[in-house]
Chain A
Amino acid sequence: EADIYQTPRYLVIGTGKKITLECSQTMGHDKMYWYQQDPGMELHLIHYSYGVNSTEKGDLSSESTVSRIRTEHFPLTLESARPSHTSQYLCASSEKGQGNTIYFGEGSWLTVV
């Protein structure tokens, strides 16, 4: 059972609003990730982190930002939401090294109207 939690699960907000999606894991994993997934489509990496104070942009250009002040916490922030940001956002974590299981949260469904 994965101990990685995302809030909120569902959110509808107006254009121009600032939103922070929360992600926490209690497994002590160094690596954390944010993916974006539209219905029926593949996951796209938008941010990742190797550890505290480490953040990198992923493959998909995103107007969001992330921070990693604590090992267990990896929030994603949109300063000014737009309808094009409507999507599912998945947080994940894994231990260091390749070939380790990546554990996903339940996802945050964001709708911008």
Chain B
Amino acid sequence: KNQVEQSPQSLIILEGKNCTLQCNYTVSPFSNLRWYKQDTGRGPVSLTIMTFSENTKSNGRYTATLDADTKQSSLHITASQLSDSASYICVVSDRGSTLGRLYFGRGTQLTVWP
């Protein structure tokens, strides 16, 4: 069964600290993996997209890694800011159909305290 599991479910850190969010998936055949940031009550915003051949991608203070062999990904946030408080969603796409079906994780709820 194709699934995307994220951990931790929630995380609280102090402003300025770093953190790492995890994503494990069983989706096959794999096409790409995306990380989205979703502020409360808003739509998700894309952070990174990685294909099979990419093992790291950065977007400012966000760095995503991908290990396609172990089917794991992580999102590292450096020097956290209050505005980083949001839900971070891991999304994996398969290549078994024209649509490229997307499998969504439930997200990690990050809270940054001053």
Do chains A and B interact in one complex? yes
Binding site for B on A (CB under 8 A): 2, 6, 40-45, 48, 59, 90, 92, 98-99, 101-107, 109
B106 touches A40 (CB 8 A): yes
User: A41 to B107, alpha carbons, bound, how many Å?
Assistant: 8
Given A40-B106, A41-B106, A43-B104, answer yes or no on A104-B93 (Cβ-Cβ < 8 Å): no
Count B interface residues, CB 8 Å.
Answer: 24
For the complex formed, measure the closest distance between the CB of A10 and the CB atoms of chain B, giving whole angstroms. 9
How many residue pairs between the two chains, A and B, have CB atoms under 8 Å in the bound complex?
50
B79 interface residue (CB < 8 Å to A): no
Kindly list chain B residues whose C-beta atoms are within 8 Å of the C-beta of A107.
41-43
Those 3 A-B pairs whose CB atoms lie nearest each other, nearest first: A104-B43, A98-B100, A42-B104
Kindly list chain A residues whose C-beta atoms are within 8 Å of the C-beta of B43.
2, 6, 90, 92, 104-107
What would 23 A/B residue contacts be, using CB atoms closer than 8 Å?
Answer: A2-B45, A40-B106, A41-B106, A42-B4, A42-B106, A42-B107, A45-B102, A48-B99, A90-B44, A92-B43, A98-B31, A98-B93, A99-B31, A99-B49, A99-B51, A101-B46, A101-B49, A102-B34, A102-B46, A102-B102, A105-B43, A106-B43, A107-B41
